[in-house]
Each structure stands twice: as C-alpha cells, then as structure tokens.
C-alpha cells in the first residue's frame, strides 16, 4: 500500500514498531547532524502578522534565505512543506529536497519557487520528514507555521511517536503570530522531542529564533581553515582585518559601499591570462581561498546580475575584495483586483527597456516565470515588466536601482469563471465527459455579433477572463445550454449549466421484423423547430440519443437506397421515449426479354426513377435486384443498339421480377 494511503494512526504505530526505538547509537561528538526545514505551505500563509505589511510566506522565505547560509556545509540539510501544491487536500505533504551535505543551492532554488496554496496537514508533513530520517542519526526538524493542523490530526500523538521511535530527532517549532490557545496546542511537540518553541510577531523575531536554533543545534559554521586544501564560505562579519592571514577574501554588495550580502552568490575564480586555469567555484555569501600571490579573475553572479573583476592577490597580507554587483531586487506580484490576494500562477516577463538595448538587443525577454510572487536580482537599469493571466495582462516600465528593492504590483482586473454541466434541470451530478464549453463576448464587427474567446472540453474548466459580460454555452453532440453572465474584477463565478436532456431510444423494423445484419441501417436526428439541422447520425444498432428539449424528426435509412422511415417528435426536458421506426420495402429484379446469355456487365445499363424523377438506382449489371420503398417507378434500360422504358408500381412486401423489352 502506498504510504500516502496509510491511515495516520497506523503510520504512527508503524513508526513506533519498526524504527528501532530501543537501539542507542553513540555518535562522535563532532559528527554533523541532519536538519530539515519544514515550511508551512497552506493558504493562510498569505496573511500578515500584526506588525508586518508583507505576507507571512514572504517573510519566512526572506528570513530563510538569509539564515540558511549560516549552516555549515557538512550538515545534511533538507527542505519539506505541506499544503503547498493542492487546494483543499489533506494529503499534500512532501519532502522536497532530501537531506544531504553541501545542499544549500539545492534548497534555495525550490524554496524561492514555492507557493502557499491549500490546507494545513501539519502532522502529515512531520510524518513525511520523520519517516525519511535515519533513527541512528542526530537530526532536527525546524517547523515554521502559522496555524495548528486543520486536517483533524493530533500533533501530540505524533510527538509521542517521534520521541519514542527517534530520540535523536528534535523538533523545533516557530509559530508566526499565533494566538495563545494555538501556542499551547503546539507546545507538546517541542517539549516531548527536546526541541525549542518560539512564537514570533515579525521578521526580526523569526530571524532571531532561527539564529538561536542554528546555534543551539550546533548547525552554524565554525572558524574556517585557511589551508590550501580546505576552504569554505565566510559570513561577511568574519572577514579578516588587514593584519589577517594572506589569502583572497571575497564578499559581494549590490551597490558601492553597500553592506555585504548574506544571500548565496555564485563565485568562480580562475587564474588571469589566456588559459584561465580553474581555481574555485562555490555558492555562498562570501568565500575564502588561500592562493599563491598573482593575478586572478573573479566572477560573481546573483540572479541575472554578473560581474567580472580582475584582482591581484598579495603574498604577505590578506586580499580583501568586495565585488559590487550594481544590481537591485525586483519583486513581482499580480492580483485579480486591487487589495486581492496574489494570483497563484501568473506569467511574468521581464524585458530590458529600450534604454538598455545593449542588454537585450533583440528585445527578447531576459526572464520569464510562472510563480506567485517571484523576486529576482537584476542589473541596475530600466525594464519592461509584463504580468499575464489568461488573456489579461498589464505592462509597466520600472527602474531597478543599485541596492534597492522595486515592486511591480499588477491589478489585472480579471475574474475566474468555473463551469460545469448537468444532464437534468435542477441539482444533478456534473457531467464528466462529452461536453464542450464555449465563452463568447460581444463583437459588433463579426457577422454573428459575437466572437469566441475561450473553449474547453474539460469536465469542469476554469477560465480566467477580463471583467465584463459574456455568453456561455455548454454543448454536447446533440444538445446545448446557454446563459449570459457578468464577471467583475476579483470575482470567482461558478455556473452549472443544466442541459435538461431527454433520452430517445431508436429501433427499426423491416416489414415487421428486425433488418438483417447485412443490411446497414443509418439513423438520423434532425431538429426542426427552426431551420432544419441534422444533430446526430449513427450506424449503431438500437442507438440512444440525449437531446435538448425541442421538436425533432427521427429517421432510419436502409443503406444508400430510398428506403426510409421517419417520425416527428416533440421532446420535453427529462423525458425518456422509445421510438420504433417501421421500414417498408419491396424487392424488384430486372431482366431483358429474349436470350440474355450473351450479356455481361457493361452490355446493358439500367436506371430507375421515382415519381419525382429522382434516380434511385443506376447499374450495369445484367440482372440487378433492388430494394425500394413502395411507390411508382419508371425503368429505363439501354443496350448497344436499343432503349426501353417501362413503368411499374411496387407495394410493401412485393418480390417481383420485371422483364423489359419486346415480349
């Protein structure tokens, strides 16, 4: 059984039974532990703490980006979340990045792509992480959340199971502006597992809590070695003075004389010259490298900002280099309407403005992303930012200044339209297949006065549309329902279109008996309460049709011959009717008088016409047989040198042989 289908109580029991709770493993004092960040991804994280103007999710992401580089690279670092992918789903929990050493870059990328979306299965998130950890290793889960589990699970139950099955696993809990009752409900988790418990009111409090956890759990970087075979990033505050050990010490800023960055920067160091021998690559706020004196080329990259700098390393003193990226941070979000929640997945496009044509000579986008609230680092300059969701978009030119944060906040004036269809009028189960939904808007320039703006064959599609008036249609092969609606900015409009279908079952008889299988029948349904229009056709035996209320002509045709039966029918919504169509037919065989032994195919040509002079048969067979509807007919036959014409009448059930020519 897949683990996500195992009931929670059973999973807790399994942890306790099979995780080796009775074994105690002695670890070396300096062995690096495991740490997994478990970040709340539920929709409530888009709310704000009382003293913050930004969403809790944004605050948590920013603080983690600054705090995680403090963790030493040998720590097995991982990332997990819950509620971050699916709406209204209590099974949405995921270990996004499994714990591994030197894992900072692998953590930062998905962290910055994450979106807060759905329910809050906090306990399931804890289970996903706990089950992935080795019970013999020291480990820490750092839970950042804004509510208790809202999927009806008992956090204290899982806390006791973790404490029993994995005594080396500490769960540290950081609440974001929780009320007292919820703080109390969560307190058993850190208490039983030996973790720390914090409740913070703002970004500063969160940063302080993470600093304390990193320190107390022995996750922080120590004093870095400066030998040639062991180099590691230094926090800017650890940079040596001019009297320190020789070596190259790199930090980065976004502007001249700016504060050193705490965010991970991609560094590349090579020897200067044509060969450019590789020296070091790393992703960290800053790096320290003991190098022989000489000339080197340094490349620093953060986001889309890249700077290359030539440096000379001294042999008798530290070489301190602070690389200025000359860049700023662009924050983007889009809303359906002003003051609405950010949209979950608009498309953002960043293009260099005309002033910066050198950055993008062709005017092609330099960055495209589908995220809720992306933040990217850009070289200082002018940019055209476009936010689009569905057919609606907003575009604006913004200025990115060195060391500054610029926000592009688009209000797209859009709404969401969710459609489904039912067979009956009133309440009923939504149809899951066979329906096409179409959305139209007024267009005086088109022949019909409307133009189609969207369509979908999904069972319950959602359309993103600019605010306005629309005409919607749900259409099957044989029926449709229509409605006019209005959508305002920020609206979520749900419409169920009742097709009010009637069911018609068709059968046909030939002279009172079922037609032989070798005689193909064609059934047609023609709507006649307006301009006659064929709405369905099939060669299936005893077909069933679901039709909209209205007036119809139901027809059965015997192959390509003129034998058919028809019946008109008025259908009301919800009716079920059985219709039997009676086909009447006569059989006629044609032959020429006299000796025909010498005639073969092509020696004689036959044509039969009905009373309306419509040709119902043409053939060059010597003695053809035809099935015809009862009525009056004229036979015309032609040989190489003679023509004959004969009239005859055929009744239902007749089986006649007609001899044509001189008697």
Which pLDDT tens digit goes with each residue over 523-548? 999 999 888 999 999 999 899 998 98
pLDDT in tens, 97-115: 999 998 888 898 889 888 8
Selected residue with higher pLDDT from 385 and 230: 385
Architecture of the domain whose range is 327-411? Sandwich (2.60)
Query: According to the 3-state scheme, what is the secondary structure of 462-509?
Result: EEEEECEEEEEEEECCCCEEEEEEEECCCCEEEEEEECCCEEEEEEEE
CATH among 3.30.1330.20, 2.60.40.10, 1.10.600.10, 3.90.600.10 for 236-324 = 2.60.40.10
Mean pLDDT in residue range 549-566? 90
Classify 13 as helix, strand or coil.
helix
pLDDT in tens, 404-452: 999 999 999 999 999 999 988 766 788 888 899 999 999 988 888 899 9
Residue 655 pLDDT exceeds 90: yes
Fold of 414-498: Immunoglobulin-like (2.60.40)
Residue 3 pLDDT exceeds 60: no
The pLDDT of residue 273 is 80
Q: Which CATH class is domain 3-216?
A: alpha beta
Kindly state the percentage of the chain with pLDDT values over 70. Answer: 89
pLDDT in tens, 248-273: 999 999 999 888 988 889 999 999 88
pLDDT in tens, 299-358: 999 999 999 999 999 988 899 999 999 999 999 999 999 888 899 889 999 999 975 444
Q: Name the pLDDT band for 601 (thresholds 50, 70, 90).
A: low
Q: Name the pLDDT band for 641 (thresholds 50, 70, 90).
A: confident
DSSP β-ladder status, 468-475 and 480-487: antiparallel
Q: What global pTM score does this model have?
A: 0.52
Per-chain mean pLDDT for the chain = 85
Of 102-106, 232-236, 276-280, 613-617, where does the model show the most confidence? Answer: 613-617
Residue 454 pLDDT exceeds 80: yes
The pLDDT of residue 224 is 37
State residue 181 phi and psi, 5-degree precision: -60, -35
The pLDDT of residue 243 is 53
The pLDDT of residue 236 is 37
The pLDDT of residue 77 is 94
Mean pLDDT in residue range 507-511? 89
Domain with CATH 2.60.40.10 in the chain: 236-324, 327-411
The pLDDT of residue 281 is 86
- How many Cβ atoms are within 10 Å of 1's Cβ, its own excluded? 7
Would you say domain 586-660 falls under CATH 3.30.310.50? no
pLDDT in tens, 65-74: 889 988 988 8
Mean pLDDT in residue range 206-213? 92
Would you say domain 502-583 falls under CATH 2.60.40.1120? yes
pLDDT in tens, 457-467: 999 999 999 99
How far, CA to CA in Å, does 518 sit from each of 141, 289, 361, 515, 628? 73, 88, 70, 8, 16
Selected residue with higher pLDDT from 449 and 7: 449
Kindly state the percentage of the chain with pLDDT values over 90. Answer: 54
Residue 363 pLDDT exceeds 80: no
The pLDDT of residue 231 is 29
How far, CA to CA in Å, does 534 sit from each of 45, 461, 496, 531, 568? 55, 28, 27, 10, 13
How far, CA to CA in Å, does 649 sit from each of 69, 199, 282, 638, 657? 99, 99, 98, 21, 12
Contact between 477 and 501 (Cβ < 8 Å) = no
pLDDT in tens, 376-410: 999 999 999 999 998 899 999 999 999 999 999 99
């Amino acid at each position: 059984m897949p683990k996500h289908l195992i009931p929670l109580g059973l999973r807790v029991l399994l942890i306790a039974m099979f995780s080796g709770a009775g074994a105690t493993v002695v670890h070396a004092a300096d062995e690096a532990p495991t740490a997994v960040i478990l970040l709340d991804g539920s929709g409530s994280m888009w709310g704000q703490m009382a003293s913050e103007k930004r969403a809790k999710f944004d605050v948590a992401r920013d603080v983690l980006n600054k705090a995680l580089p403090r963790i030493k690279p040998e720590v097995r670092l991982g990332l997990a979340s819950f509620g971050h992918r699916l709406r209204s789903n209590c099974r949405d929990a995921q270990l996004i990045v499994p714990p591994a050493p030197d894992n900072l870059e692998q953590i930062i990328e998905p962290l910055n792509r994450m979106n807060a979306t759905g329910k809050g299965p906090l306990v399931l998130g804890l289970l996903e992480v706990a089950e992935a950890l080795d019970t013999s290793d020291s480990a820490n889960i750092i839970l950042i959340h804004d509510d208790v589990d809202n999927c009806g699970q008992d956090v204290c139950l899982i806390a006791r199971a973790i404490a029993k099955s994995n005594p080396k696993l500490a769960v540290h809990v950081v609440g974001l502006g929780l009320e007292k009752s919820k703080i109390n409900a969560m307190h058993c988790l850190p208490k039983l597992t030996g973790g720390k418990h914090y409740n913070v009111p703002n970004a500063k409090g969160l940063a302080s809590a993470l600093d304390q956890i990193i320190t107390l759990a022995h996750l922080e970087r120590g004093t870095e070695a400066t030998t040639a075979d062991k180099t590691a990033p230094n926090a800017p505050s650890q940079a040596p003075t001019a009297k320190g050990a020789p070596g190259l010490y790199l930090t980065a800023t976004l502007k001249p004389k700016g504060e050193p960055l705490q965010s991970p920067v991609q560094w590349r160091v090579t020897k200067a010259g044509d060969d450019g021998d590789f020296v070091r690559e790393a992703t960290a706020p800053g790096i320290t490298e003991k190098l022989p004196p000489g000339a080197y080329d340094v490349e620093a990259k953060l986001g889309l900002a890249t700077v290359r700098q030539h440096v000379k390393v001294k042999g008798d003193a530290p070489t301190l280099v602070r690389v200025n990226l000359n860049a700023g941070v662009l924050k983007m979000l889009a809303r359906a309407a002003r003051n609405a929640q950010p949209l979950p997945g608009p498309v953002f496009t960043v293009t260099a403005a005309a002033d910066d044509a050198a950055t993008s000579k062709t005017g092609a986008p330099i960055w495209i992303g589908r995220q809720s609230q992306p933040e990217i680092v850009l070289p200082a300059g002018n940019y055209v930012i476009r936010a689009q969701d569905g057919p609606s978009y907003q575009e604006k030119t913004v200025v990115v200044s060195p060391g500054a944060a610029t926000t592009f906040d688009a209000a797209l004036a859009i709404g969401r339209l969710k459609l489904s269809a039912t067979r009956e009028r009133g309440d009923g189960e939504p149809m899951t297949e066979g329906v096409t939904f179409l959305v139209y808007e007024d267009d005086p320039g088109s022949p019909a006065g409307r133009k189609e703006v969207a369509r979908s064959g999904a069972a319950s599609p959602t359309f993103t549309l600019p605010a306005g008036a629309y005409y919607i249609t749900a259409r099957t092969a044989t029926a449709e329902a229509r409605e006019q609606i209005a959508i305002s900015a920020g609206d979520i409009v749900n419409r169920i279109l009742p097709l009010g279908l009637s069911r018609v079952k068709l059968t046909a008889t030939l002279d009172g008996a079922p037609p032989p299988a070798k005689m193909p029948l064609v059934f047609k349904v023609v709507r006649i309460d307006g301009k006659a229009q064929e709405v369905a056709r099939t060669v299936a035996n005893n077909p069933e049709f679901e039709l909209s209320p209205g007036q119809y002509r139901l027809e059965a045709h015997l192959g390509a011959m003129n034998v058919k039966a028809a019946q008109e029918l008025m259908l009301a919504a919800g009716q079920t009717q059985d219709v039997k169509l009676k086909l009447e037919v006569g059989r006629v065989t044609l032959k020429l008088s006299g000796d025909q032994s010498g005639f073969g195919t092509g020696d004689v040509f036959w044509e039969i016409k009905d009373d309306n002079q419509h040709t119902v048969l043409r053939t060059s067979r010597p003695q053809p047989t035809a099935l015809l509807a009862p009525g009056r007919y004229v036979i015309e036959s032609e040989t190489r040198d003679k023509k004959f014409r004969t009239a005859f009448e055929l009744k239902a059930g007749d089986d006649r042989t007609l001899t044509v020519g001189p008697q």
